[in-house]
Chains A and B, each alone.
Chain A
Amino acid sequence: MSDASTNPSDVPHKSESLLVPSKLMRRRNAAETRYKAYGIAAIVISLATLGIMLFTIFSDGISAFSQATLRFPVTMDAATLDPKGNRDIAEMTKVTTIGYKKVLEKSLIDELNTRQVAVDGVSEKDIGAFISGDAPARLRDMVLADPSLIGQTIDFSAFATGRIDGYFKGRVTMETAKLDSNISPEQLQLADKMTEAGILDVRFNPKFFTNPDASDTRPESSGLGVAIIGTLYMMALVVVLSLPLGVAAAIYLDEFAPQNRFTDLIEVNISNLAAVPSIVFGILGLAIFINFGGLPQSSSLVGALVLTLMALPTIIIATRASLRAVPPSIRTAALGVGASKVQMVFHHVLPLAMPGILTGTILSLATSLGETGPLLLIGMEAFVVNYPSGPLSGGVMEPATALPVQVYAWAARSDPAFVERASGAIIVLLAFLLVMNIVAIILRRRFERRW
């Protein structure tokens, strides 16, 4: 017999086994997992967005480095290019690019006829529309440089126009061509046949790095030449201006400056300047350097001055951090063997702090390399076709653009071919940044000392 039911001690216990999680415990553990999941989700979201962004830029932009190119023999018709037949340069310059365009078109049509490449419904004018607008100008320059070419037949390679180029890169399809007044499906079929015949192919395009910008109607011949030169000029000037100034200011503030109101004022200024929106520096450049100082608009000099002012606070802060990392024993030892304070700083502290200073400088240089807003205000988004001259003949005073500004300018244009160009320019820009960051990391790894 059992009296278990009557025994009060047998009433189910309120507390449960430690081995079986209670309701509360389960809730607490769930909260734990949730927090961890939130954290992982946040990291995954941010890294995934970064990945998607870089992926879209690369997949849009990688094709900017190749270009559909026509290759065909060109017969330099003397009757068109040198009507008087005396090879006088002065008279030949009177033949404009229109004359050369005719020569190119005729040669291309002849080549297609001899190779029996044809598609119904493609007129001679449509075939002429394959050739980029910059090819006649290039041919003209070639002929004016070497008049003996007239009458000869030379192998010439010309860019195909943006739409044909887009067809090979998937931007233009038969369906879009039907709606497009600039290109017809028949022309695309002809393009396919020309590829089979070996007249047209897509190849690596070094001119993307060297050509200047081109007008809206010929995306195929636009390049980064002026932007790269402008960026290099600006970066060189920024280093020359900001490194000595920033290091000198940091040395003064950290090693020599007396503790007084004036030094406090400088310190407050530096930390505030680091947080001023970049566009305000553009306003400063416009008002002070261009309107007041009379420096030329769009010039790399003004751009460099603005970027220098922006980079200075970062360089000063980085320099001060690495100066402080040099242990006081070095200073006291130098002073102990009879060095003056200036000698102590320049002979001992500064060399030891140099790797840190250089790393900080390169990183702030990388930031200013990608800066766009202030450069727009000082007129660097202008359409610049002429290369600035060499640095010694005043090239920094001449109009130029910069890589990030070129990205913006291309992105603002309506032809979708320029989106490819803009993405390509970003790839070049990111390559620059990558190199600078790798240099900074190597410097840090190689020379960083722990005391």
Chain B
Amino acid sequence: MSVFMLLVVIAVLALVGFVIGRQRALASAAGNIKEMHSLPVYYGWHGALMVIVPSLLALTLWLLIQPLVIERQLVSYFPPEVLESSAARTLAMADVRRVAEGLDIAIAQGAMTEVQADMVRTEFGSVRDRLAEVGVALGAEVTPQVLAAAQDYRELAVIGGIGRSILTFLVALGGLIYAIRITNKDFRARNRVEQVIMALLSLSSTVAILTTVGIVLSLVGESLRFFTMYPWQDFFFSLTWSPNFQGGSDLGLAPLLWGTIYISFVSIIVAAPIGLFSAIYLAEYASPRVRSVVKPAIEVIAGIPTVVFGLFALVTLGPILRDWIAEPTGWGNSGSSVMTAGLVIGILNIPFVSSLADDVINAVPQAMRDGSYGIGATKSETIRLVILPAALPGIVGGMLLALSRAIGETMIVTMGAGAAAKLDLNPFEAMTTITVKIVSQLTGDTEFDSPETLVAFALGMTLFVLTLGLNVIALYIVRKYREQYE
């Protein structure tokens, strides 16, 4: 029985539990709701929950444990050298799984019978060719061990599937029977249901923590693996980046970090004045009507996907900068450059800077403005001498947040900055960033046992630490400022 069918069965049983639970409670009170501890619907929910919660738990546990158990059973098929490293072991298991899937597909298409799939041996001909006929492409010829393991895998998977169905069904049925037996008019159904709801609520609030743990674990784990293959001194202090999948590559962080910082710097140069001045205008000069039109219009920029900005950089802005500025002045001849990516990220960040600056400017107490006007200052003098100094920490915090977003931006730099890792000062030169290299090292057919691939995790770690640090500093500054006026 497939997992989907099991879920349907659980749902049906839950419905039965709901109806019977409600009926039983009503019957035991002879239809008089006042005699019952809880409202009838709670007895129904209790019946349904007693079916759903334990059976789903059992099903999930089974789904998690079954592959581990099967892998352990198949260990005897693999030579000891495969078992030594976890990477080789994962690969071998993947092979087994692929062959087993291939046999499944062959049976589904009628190219083999169930018995043939169990009997097929490498001695009688190429299994790879037979599977290729049904559209399953295998990288290499199937070894007898892998084939035998795959056949065992299928058997175990079938047994596991039956066991899974029986266990889930029994647990669901047990829950149903338990709910029916316990239900009578004095049973405190509402309290029980509310306890379960509370447990579910608090469980879902831990997802945020689990995500962070997942991020940190995946980054740290794979980064450590990377540093066992590649010396960390070279990663942090080498000045060249030239990955080579044949081995002997230089994986220095410096050129990528430089590109990232340079592009983010250009973007801040664009976003900071434009965002700040539009915020000042909207907060201090604009009439409410202008404000109600212009503010949402600027925020439209923030709603446009970054890949659109990327395409704009690639096909419009890049060639314009190259043909009008870089080539006439002889600074470069590449459409993708630090300038292209920096300008576009700057545009992307305008609404971000503008709305953050708007918030802090509006948070400056009106009394300070009135005081300034009262002693005869003009609006611009009030802005320059009173409002901006008062809002400065918040504005700086906002800039740091914008900087952190520019550092983590991926699509615009992937499409607009180029792929050459260089340490150069010329802004019309193509450079590359940490995020570009994460994408390029991890896309395509990659195997997770070479430093060239794993370096992406170390880069991700660097990026994570960098942006997190900037955010913490920014939030600290913003919060410290807010305490002054409230």
Binding site for B on A (CB under 8 A): 28-29, 31-32, 34-36, 38-43, 45-47, 49-50, 52-53, 56-57, 60, 244-245, 248-249, 251-253, 256-257, 265-266, 269-273, 275-284, 286-288, 291-292, 294, 309, 312-313, 316, 340, 342, 366-367, 369-373, 376-377, 379, 381, 392, 404, 407-408, 411, 419, 422-423, 426, 429-430, 433, 437
Contact = CB atoms under 8 A, between A and B. Distances in A.
Contacts of B134: none
Nearest to A52: B316
A52 B198 CA distance: 52
- Among the interface residues A34, A40, A277, which one has the most CB atoms of the partner chain B within 10 A? A277
A280 B378 contact: no
B87 to A, nearest CB: 10
Contact of A372 (B202, B307, B384): B307
Interface string B303-327: 1111111111011100000000000
B464 to A, nearest CB: 5
Interface in B439-470: 439, 442-443, 448, 456-457, 460, 463-464, 467-468
A388 to B, nearest CB: 16
Given A28-B381, A57-B312, A372-B410, A275 B401 contact: yes
A339 to B, nearest CB: 11
A191 B282 CA distance: 55
Contact of B460 (A279, A366, A367, A423): A279
A419 B278 contact: no
B467 A276 contact: yes
A266 B297 contact: no
Q: Is the interface of A mostly helix, strand, loop or mixed?
A: helix
Nearest to B305: A370
A31 B378 contact: yes
Interface stretch (B13-21, B165-173, B208-216, B240-248): B208-216
Nearest to B207: A245
B157 interface: no
Interface in B388-444: 401, 404-405, 407-411, 414-415, 435, 438-439, 442-443
A120 B382 CA distance: 78
Contacts of B206: 266
A32 B380 CA distance: 5
A275 B466 CA distance: 12
Nearest to B443: A376
Contacts of A408: 307, 310, 411, 414-415
B207 A279 contact: no
Contact of A46 (B274, B407, B408, B414): B274
A39 B205 CA distance: 43
A50 B404 CA distance: 22
A284 B218 contact: yes
B460 A283 contact: yes
Contacts of B194: 340, 342
A31 B380 contact: yes
Interface in B265-317: 273-278, 280-282, 285-286, 294, 297-298, 300-301, 303-312, 314-316
B201 A392 contact: no
A97 B330 CA distance: 51
Nearest to B376: A28
Interface in B199-233: 200-202, 204-209, 211-212, 214-215, 217-219, 221-222
A342 B208 CA distance: 23
26 contacts: A32-B379, A39-B285, A43-B294, A45-B274, A47-B298, A50-B301, A50-B347, A52-B316, A56-B316, A245-B204, A249-B207, A266-B209, A269-B209, A277-B435, A277-B463, A282-B442, A283-B215, A287-B221, A309-B207, A366-B303, A370-B305, A373-B410, A376-B439, A377-B439, A377-B442, A377-B443
Contacts of A279: 408, 410, 435, 438-439, 460, 463
Given A31-B380, A46-B347, A381-B443, A284 B205 contact: no
Contact of B215 (A40, A41, A275, A276): A276
B163 interface: no
A426 B312 CA distance: 11
A309 B277 contact: no
B214 A284 contact: yes
Given A42-B274, A46-B278, A283-B442, A249 B204 contact: yes
B201 A272 contact: no
Given A249-B205, A273-B208, A372-B307, A377 B314 contact: no
B356 interface: no
Given A381-B443, A408-B307, 20 more contacts: A46-B301, A47-B294, A56-B312, A60-B315, A252-B204, A275-B468, A277-B408, A277-B409, A279-B435, A279-B439, A283-B438, A288-B217, A309-B207, A340-B190, A373-B411, A408-B414, A408-B415, A419-B315, A426-B311, A433-B304
A291 to B, nearest CB: 6
A286 B442 contact: yes
B21 to A, nearest CB: 18
A433 B97 CA distance: 40
B49 to A, nearest CB: 13
A256 B204 CA distance: 13
B239 to A, nearest CB: 24
Given A372-B306, A433-B303, A294 B67 contact: yes
A276 B464 contact: yes
A34 B273 CA distance: 14
A249 B307 contact: no
B208 A269 contact: yes
Contacts of B106: none
A407 B307 CA distance: 7
B303 to A, nearest CB: 7
Given A252-B204, A277-B410, A423-B311, A312 B209 contact: no
Contacts of B311: 57, 407, 411, 419, 422-423, 426
Contacts of A244: 204
Contacts of A47: 294, 297-298
B183 interface: no
A245 B200 CA distance: 9
Given A50-B300, A278-B408, A316 B208 contact: yes
Contacts of B378: 28-29, 31-32
A298 to B, nearest CB: 11
Contacts of A273: 208, 211-212
Contact of B280 (A39, A251, A266, A277): A39
B205 A266 contact: yes
Contacts of B315: 56, 60, 411, 419
A404 B305 CA distance: 8
A429 B439 contact: no
A201 B194 CA distance: 67
A277 B305 contact: no
A253 B315 CA distance: 46
Given A252-B204, A256-B198, A272-B471, A372 B411 contact: yes
B277 A379 contact: no
A270 to B, nearest CB: 5
A436 B52 CA distance: 34
Contacts of A57: 308, 311-312
Contacts of B278: 39, 42-43, 46
Contact of A256 (B201, B273, B305, B379): B201
Contact of A288 (B218, B274, B380): B218
Of B208, B218, B351, B460, most buried by chain A (CB within 10 Å of CB) is: B208
Contacts of A437: 303
A35 B380 contact: yes
Nearest to A341: B194
B410 A53 contact: no
Contacts of B456: 283
Quick one: which of B204, B276, B311 has the most chain A CB within 10 A? B311
